[in-house]
Copies of this chain bind each other. A is one copy, B any other.
Amino acid sequence: MSQDPEKLLAQICFDAAGLVPAIAQDHATGQVLMLAWMTRESLAETLRSGAVAYWSRSRNQIWRKGETSGQVQRLVDLRIDCDGDTVLLLVEQTGVACHTGRRSCFFRAARDGEIVELAMERVDPGLLYPRSL
């Protein structure tokens, strides 16, 4: 998916901070993997390269997903919602999306009033980010 992104970018309503929320969904299974934020720049790069790049609000810099961990996301398709203020990324996820080592970030739920974890780690997070240990 490499194309001139101008017409697509023109449909996106970035917020006052220049960000748009992006939902990443596994293109094959439909599993929702994560939500992160994109700038115009990171979205344009994603469309050009086919490798998903977000904007890290905590580090205030472009966040090329998987650059450190190897857990990259290849963009398969991108959908824009009705009012252009959210994008849905259909991705091919290498390994796991979550920094905890789980496939999806949405692994917690309430059961009988307690918070439980519904998914196990698939990868030791210490192996994903060896330089940060």
Which residues of A are interface residues toward B (Cβ below 8 A)? 3-5, 7-8, 11, 21, 23, 25, 29-32, 34-35, 47, 77-83, 86, 88, 98-100, 102, 105-110, 112-115, 118
In the assembled complex, the CB of A23 is this many whole angstroms from the nearest CB of chain B, namely 6
Q: Are A7 and B106 in contact, CB atoms less than 8 angstroms apart?
A: no
Q: Are B30 and A110 in contact, CB atoms less than 8 angstroms apart?
A: no
C-alpha gap A30/B90 in the complex (Å): 13
Q: How many copies does the complex hold?
A: 2
Out of B21, B31, B115, which one reaches A80, CB within 8 Å? B115
C-alpha gap A16/B23 in the complex (Å): 21
Query: A26 — nearest CB in chain B belongs to which residue?
Result: B30
Task: Please name all residues of chain B whose beta carbon is closer than 8 Å to the beta carbon of A106 when the two chains form the complex.
Answer: 79-81, 86, 88
Q: Assuming A35-B81, A79-B108, A81-B108, what are 17 further A-B pairs, CB within 8 angstroms?
A: A3-B112, A3-B113, A4-B113, A8-B115, A11-B115, A23-B35, A29-B30, A30-B31, A32-B88, A34-B81, A35-B86, A78-B110, A79-B106, A80-B108, A80-B115, A82-B108, A86-B106
C-alpha gap A77/B109 in the complex (Å): 8
Out of B11, B21, B98, B110, which one reaches A8, CB within 8 Å? B110
